[in-house]
A and B are shown apart, each in its own frame.
Chain A
Amino acid sequence: MALSLDPALAIALRTGLALLFAAAAAHKLRDFGAFRDALEGYRLLPPRALGLFACGLIAAELATAGALVLSEQGGPAAAALLGLYSAAIALNLARGLREIDCGCFGPALRQPLSLALVLRNLGLISLAGVCALQVGSRALAPLDALTIAAGVALGALVHGAVNGLIANAPRLRALRGA
């Protein structure tokens, strides 16, 4: 028997990831200037390409969110996008440029780059990978509605808490060093 994913889990995963990408695109759109500045800080692109690339990323995030909800092709797209972000962070960590704003959670949670961000993204990539598994066929029962809704809410809360902890880490370090 091939490894297959329970349909309720698949729906919860895809909905959760879609919400994640929609929220990411929303905070980038809300403060486009800050996102563009953060992108510039990564020093990976020529200044002229920044605006276009920033728009492209937002469009890609929205398209990924849509694909996750509407089709079964969203998983690989989500993994690819997260992989791209992780590579950009890892590259700058490797060349010692960590004191730049990561631009990950919008201007409210400004923070430097860290290995924790890469690990968080790897976790999300593995979830996106699970999405790409063959979905088993099973008639959905009423209880599945609870599983899906509660699962998505749990994912959002845990993701928010992890982000908060990652954002707090440099502040804690600053306090200890002071």
Chain B
Amino acid sequence: MMEQALYVSNALLWIAVLALAALVFALVRQIGVLYERVAPAGALMLAGGPKVGEAAPRFALDDVFGRATTLGGDDPERRQTLLLFVSPTCPVCKTLLPVAKSLAAREPRPRLVFASDGQEDHVAFVRKHALDAYPYVVSTELGLAHQVGKLPHAVLWDARGIVRAKGLVNSREHLESLFEAMDRGVASIQEYVSRAGGSR
């Protein structure tokens, strides 16, 4: 009799423990989804470098293939410029390269320029990821002028050379948020969200 009671009690407890564990697991998953929705999807803006609304610093550089590349100032073809700071040793940068290329192919077809520095084999990097069609400049001064701290860092300026959006970009959403911020005339998606939040 007693033994049977213990069996029943034990089985019941196991069921209860498993049900509670499943609940905890499900709650953690839900919290994860919430974070994804709530967290600002925009590129993280870091202090330093030319601010949004200021002119991008002018540079005349030769890229890794010796092609003359000018950065900043009026663009003769009236294009926006997306300057993406990358490095051959940064894994996130690699995942972002095809994204940047697809954004550059989208109307109104911004000019895409890659920038890097350091002693790595940049030509091999360009070949491996088929970036030959875009200027790829290696310049420590350019990185210093934009005060690039973390990679991949992107700066977007308009046809007149005025910085419209910039920030640390880790995903397609971040990179797209730069264009979104420019179209909406705000410095960053975070600013847009906080404005919207204020009027709510």
Contact = CB atoms under 8 A, between A and B. Distances in A.
Interface of A: 37-38, 40-41, 43, 99-101, 143, 146-147, 150, 153-154, 157-158, 160-161, 164-165, 167-168, 171-172, 174-175, 178
A154 B18 contact: yes
Contacts of A175: 35, 38-39
Nearest to A163: B28
A161 B21 contact: yes
Contacts of B28: 160-161, 164-165, 168
Given A43-B89, A175-B35, 16 more contacts: A37-B91, A37-B94, A41-B91, A143-B7, A146-B10, A153-B18, A154-B18, A154-B21, A158-B24, A160-B25, A164-B25, A164-B29, A168-B32, A171-B32, A174-B39, A178-B40
Interface residues of B, number: 26
Given A150-B18, A161-B25, A172 B91 contact: no
B68 interface: no
A157 B18 contact: yes
A171 B36 CA distance: 8
Contacts of B89: 43
Contact of B32 (A41, A100, A158, A167): A167
Contacts of A40: 91
Interface SS of chain B: helix, strand, loop or mixed? helix
Contacts of B36: 171
Contact of A143 (B10, B22, B32): B10
Contacts of A164: 25, 28-29, 31-32
6 contacts: A37-B91, A41-B91, A143-B7, A164-B28, A165-B28, A178-B190
Contacts of B150: 99
Contacts, number: 62
Contacts of A168: 28, 31-32, 35
B17 interface: yes
B11 interface: yes
B14 interface: yes
Contacts of A41: 91
A150 to B, nearest CB: 4
B22 A157 contact: yes
B198 to A, nearest CB: 15
A83 B126 CA distance: 37
Contacts of A150: 14, 17-18
Nearest to A40: B91
A40 B95 CA distance: 13
A146 B14 contact: yes
A37 B94 CA distance: 9
Contact of A161 (B11, B18, B24, B91): B24
A168 B28 CA distance: 8
Contacts of A165: 28
A38 B94 CA distance: 12
B145 to A, nearest CB: 23
A157 B24 contact: yes
A153 B14 CA distance: 10
Residue of A147, A167, A171 ringed by the most chain B CB atoms within 10 A: A171
Nearest to B194: A178
- Across chains A and B, which 10 residue pairs bring their CB atoms closest together, nearest first? A164-B28, A157-B21, A171-B35, A150-B14, A37-B91, A41-B91, A161-B25, A157-B25, A161-B28, A161-B24
